[in-house]
Amino acid sequence: MNIIATLPPPHTIKMKEVIASTGIDAFRLNTGIVTPYSQYETIRNIIRIIDENKLHIDIKGTQLRIDSWAVPEYSELTINREIEVDLPATIYFRHEKVASQIVEMKGRKLYVDPLPANFVGAGQAINIHGNNYKVKGNYLTVSDAEYIKAGKALGVSSYMLSFLEEQSQIDEVLTLNPEAKICGKIETPHGLELVKNGIAIDSVMIARDDLFINIGFNATKMFEAQKFIVERYPTAIAASRILTSLEKDNQASLSDLADIYLLRQMGYSNFMLSDGLSKSPTTLRQAVSILRTF
């Protein structure tokens, strides 16, 4: 079994605490976090503490996020990328029980109804469903490209590609670093089709939270997707919605334990733990202990 922990922001003491935790095989740098350092400095500071071969750089690609904090009634909702989609389209906010409809767009500004019930935070991931949906521009953001260049210069070549859907997205990465080792994060039906058709990458990750949203919260399809991916790629990594009950309680819920049991029965032996689980060394140790029990 291999367990990957997500690193807290690199300027915090918690990052060193996570690295010091026992039972962790590798570490993920979520490039969506805020850091006072450049991409080069961020990677350099991390590999001063860990072996560069144990670091995976999680590239955000076409993942949609809220760009700035907003009070829905008084602030515009601005996202990080320009998109195309037929209106009205459905938008899913994290921690909202009801989806909203996008009724108007002006560049990266969205106008939705109903308004989210809670504040909308900078960096918050969102999902949009609608006809002719497309994220404009290249797959890689400017920051993504800088992380890849920095990784190449520092000897870090392992990249996780968020929302991987097309060969051209892999090609963008390989153009910047021909030695890149690529883990494709499967988060959409298009991503599932890509792996079904076969693609030459080093590993695959099923990013369950976004995938579940993007297949329409269909539990049957989710079960089938999990089973298919590990059968096609036996070294596949299961990620997101892993032992999330530990983020709120001191013990894992029965449903979380049953979930891990099911994943192990399907054949999963590699897991990635979320930002939430990695915030606390105690919670991280609990999660590692549970995973290694199964």
Full domain range(s) for residue 127: 64-134
Residue 240 and residue 223 in one domain? yes
pLDDT in tens, 128-169: 999 999 999 999 999 999 999 999 999 999 999 999 999 999
pLDDT in tens, 258-269: 999 999 999 999
User: For residue 241, which of 283, 212, 200 has the smallest C-alpha distance?
Assistant: 212
Q: How many domains does the chain have?
A: 2
State the pLDDT confidence band at 203, using cuts at 50, 70 and 90: very high
Residue 170 and residue 280 in one domain? yes
The residue with tokens 């690193």 is 7
User: For residue 125, which of 57, 33, 55, 42 has the smallest C-alpha distance?
Assistant: 33
Give the domain-ending residue among 134, 151, 173. 134
Residue 209 and residue 98 in one domain? no
At residue 222, does pLDDT exceed 90? yes
Report which DSSP code applies to 179: T
Query: What's the pTM?
Result: 0.94
Residue 96 and residue 213 in one domain? no
pLDDT in tens, 116-130: 988 888 899 999 999
Residue 155 and residue 29 in one domain? yes
Residue 264 and residue 164 in one domain? yes
Strands 134-135 and 158-161: unpaired
CATH number of 197's domain: 3.20.20.60
Report which DSSP code applies to 116: P
Instruction: Enumerate residues 6+ apart whose C-beta is below 8 A from 70.
Output: 76, 77, 78, 119, 120
Residue 129 and residue 162 in one domain? no
Asked whether 232 and 268 are in contact (CB, 8 A), the reply is no
